Amino acid sequence: EVKLVESGGGLVQPGRSLKLSCAASGFSFNDYWMGWVRQAPGKGLEWIGEINQDSSTINYTPSLKDKFTISRDNAQNTLYLQMSKLGSEDTAIYYCARARYLDYWGQGVMVTVSS
């Protein structure tokens, strides 16, 4: 069974950084692109970006490129999302998903940016 479990969310002050993790199991992690999607409270879905199998290609939605960094550790079957200079507009549930076609999603982790 494919399983994706996000962690690392919580309350963070504006301007600070936060790093999310996504632990993958039930499939061969290093055979797949992986990605992140977010959802602001009561809003729709926003694609953040994706990373290929060996981390040689990382794509970001242009408006978020300077704020987010996606990485992965294939030995640990873990995907990461480093977020910097956070603002209130980044308050959202963050989902990791198996890319490129988002066929499996994690349960999501809440990030709240507030002083």
Residue closer to another protein (CB basis): 16 or 65:
65
Residue closer to another protein (CB basis): 3 or 16:
3
Residue closer to another protein (CB basis): 27 or 105:
105
Query: In terms of Cα–Cα distance, which of 55, 49, 6 is closest to 30?
Result: 55
Interface ranges with another protein (CB under 8 A): 37, 44-47, 49, 59-62, 95, 100-108
CA distance 22 to 51: 13
Rounded to a whole number of angstroms, the minimum distance from the CB of residue 68 to another protein is: 12
Is residue 97 within 8 Å of residue 106, measured between CB atoms?
Answer: yes
- φ, ψ of residue 14 to 5 degrees: the values are -55, 140
CA distance 13 to 16: 6
Rounded to a whole number of angstroms, the minimum distance from the CB of residue 45 to another protein is: 4
Rounded to a whole number of angstroms, the minimum distance from the CB of residue 26 to another protein is: 14
